[in-house]
């Protein structure tokens, strides 16, 4: 199955030391999780993310072991372009 998943990693409001992962599969429904390992992705799926904090490295490795292709979007303009291509309603400048 070839599913594209877009993830955004950001710091929590309560404690700036922790990170929260927001992800979407369809571009309109956003879900939150505390770990990349909790994202429902399987073999052949592709995950595009803006950054991978050191605290979430194990979760990223777990996804790769499950057969998920993990891509890091480095350029902010590319992140914005990908979000527009999936018709995201909320486009933030915080990434």
Side-chain half-sphere CA neighbours of 21 within 13 A: 25
Q: State both tokens at 87.
A: 């018709």
Task: Judge contact between 70 and 47, C-beta under 8 A.
Answer: yes
Please state the domain extents for the chain. 4-85
How many C-beta neighbours within 10 Å does residue 22 have? 13
Q: Which of the residues in the chain have pLDDT under 70?
A: 1, 14-17, 74-79, 82, 86-95
Please tell me the predicted confidence (pLDDT) of residue 88: 57
Task: Judge contact between 31 and 23, C-beta under 8 A.
Answer: yes
Predicted TM-score of the model (pTM): 0.68
């Amino acid at each position: 199955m070839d599913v594209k998943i877009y993830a955004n990693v950001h710091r929590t409001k309560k404690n700036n030391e922790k990170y929260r992962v927001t992800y979407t599969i369809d571009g309109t429904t956003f879900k939150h999780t505390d770990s990349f390992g909790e994202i429902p992705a399987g073999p052949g799926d592709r995950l595009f993310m803006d950054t991978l904090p050191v605290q979430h490295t194990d979760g990223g490795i777990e996804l790769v072991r499950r057969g998920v292709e993990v891509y890091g979007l480095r350029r902010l303009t590319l992140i914005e372009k990908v979000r527009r291509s999936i018709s995201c309603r909320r486009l933030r400048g915080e990434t």
